[in-house]
Amino acid sequence: MARITAGIATSHVPAIGAAIDLGKTGDEYWAPVFAGYEWVRTWIKDNTPDVVILCYNDHASAMMLDIVPTFALGFAEEYEPADEGWGARPVPTVMGDPDLAGHLAEQLVIDDFDLTIMNAMDVDHGLTVPLSLVFGQVEEWPCRVIPLAVNVTQFPTPSADRCWQLGAAIRDAVEAYPEDLDVQVWGTGGMSHQLQGERAGLINPEFDNAFLDKLIDGTDELRAITRLQFLREAGSEGIELIMWLIMRAALGEKVEQLHRFYHVPASNTAVGHTVLRPVAD
């Protein structure tokens, strides 16, 4: 049977991708950011999953104009990196897992999550920057990826608690999959940041660090954070953190924190990163 072996959370700032692609990771500005990912780069070598279910948001690259899905699951064999206005990132094609995706969709819709199915789409920095941060610059990604895109852009987004419930259902669905697979769930985006208006540049380290603390064993409090609280406290784009709750719920009740990192800033954003492992009851 398939099993969820770990969860990774990370910010997915586009400038981080540009720093990798342009060879700037050793620059004074960027070195402290990438230092925070050295641990996971080593750890992943011995803990490479067969499949990553990667929760991210599409930044008006493949959706959000003509169609605005709340939860969209990738069904394709492969996904090309999107051209976001300066050419596509020079990273490998992302290989999907249509069979596991089909199983997930079946189980999740039966569990009342009315997913949108994406049979074809490009993937933007929201998905490829986390892959680059964890796997580095590679000829091909070392595992298959099932994109799970969440609307965190157009209000109302799903609630924190709805994301939690989805994560819990993903756990059950993975464990019901008959193949012998190691699956990781990644939650991406955040932490606090605001990319618009006079309040742009907002960073709330107190909120972010409390979120990282509670992600381990204070999850009831995280599930209760309202959209309005996310906006007020973490900035208009900080609500991306709801995607971390899908990851966390997929790990079950108890987790062990293997790694944690927090740094301000990367471009406009507070960078947060953690690696969690489920602990059997």
Partner 1 sequence: MRQRLYPLEDLEDIPGTTVFTARRSRQAYHLHKFCMSLMDKDNRNAFKADERAYLDRFRMTEEQKQAVLARDFNGLIELGGNIYFLVKLSNTDGWSAQKAVGSMTGMTPDEYAAMMRAGGRSPEGQKSKRDQG
| Cα(152)–Cα(246) distance, integer angstroms | 13
* Interface residue with partner 1, options 112, 199, 280, 281 (CB under 8 A): 199
Binding of residue 154 to partner 1 (CB under 8 A): yes
Residues 60-89 binding partner 1 (CB under 8 A) are 60-61, 64-65, 68, 82-87
Binding of residue 219 to partner 1 (CB under 8 A): no
Binding of residue 197 to partner 1 (CB under 8 A): yes
Tokens of 12: 């997915």
| Stretch of 110-118, 136-144, 199-207, 245-253 contacting partner 1, by CB under 8 A | 199-207
Kindly state the smallest distance separating residue 67's Cβ from partner 1, in Å.
11
Q: Burial of 21 by CB count in 10 Å (0-12 exposed, 13-18 middle, 19+ buried)?
A: middle
Binding of residue 91 to partner 1 (CB under 8 A): no
Beta bridge partners of 3: 182
What is the DSSP code string of 203-239? --HHHHHHHHHHHHH-HHHHHT--HHHHHHHH-TTGG
| Stretch of 136-144, 151-159, 209-217, 242-250 contacting partner 1, by CB under 8 A | 151-159
Kindly state the smallest distance separating residue 236's Cβ from partner 1, in Å.
5
Provide the 3-class DSSP secondary structure of residue 173.
helix
Binding of residue 211 to partner 1 (CB under 8 A): no
| Cα(275)–Cα(8) distance, integer angstroms | 5
| Cα(126)–Cα(118) distance, integer angstroms | 16
Kindly state the smallest distance separating residue 129's Cβ from partner 1, in Å.
12
Binding of residue 268 to partner 1 (CB under 8 A): yes
Binding of residue 202 to partner 1 (CB under 8 A): yes
| Stretch of 57-65, 98-106, 110-118, 251-259 contacting partner 1, by CB under 8 A | 57-65
Active site residue 193: yes
| Cα(149)–Cα(151) distance, integer angstroms | 7
Residues 3-42 binding partner 1 (CB under 8 A) are 14-15
Binding of residue 210 to partner 1 (CB under 8 A): no
| Stated length of the chain | 281
b or e along 183-214 (b: 16 or more beta carbons within 10 Å of the residue's beta carbon)?
bbbbbbbbbbbbeeeeeeebbbeebbeebbeb
Active site residue 59: no
Cβ-based neighbour number of residue 267 at 10 Å:
15
Q: At what angle do helices 14-21 and 125-135 cross, to 10 degrees?
A: 50
The answer to whether 190 touches 204, Cβ cutoff 8 Å, is no
Binding of residue 189 to partner 1 (CB under 8 A): no
Of these residues, 59, 103, 193, 273, which one is catalytic?
193
Binding of residue 280 to partner 1 (CB under 8 A): no
Q: Measured from the CB atom, is 105 or 241 closer to partner 1?
A: 241
Kindly list the catalytic residues. 125, 193
Residues lying near partner 1 in the complex (CB under 8 A) are found at 14-15, 59-61, 64-65, 68, 82-87, 153-155, 192, 194-205, 207, 226-228, 231-233, 235-237, 264-265, 267-268, 270
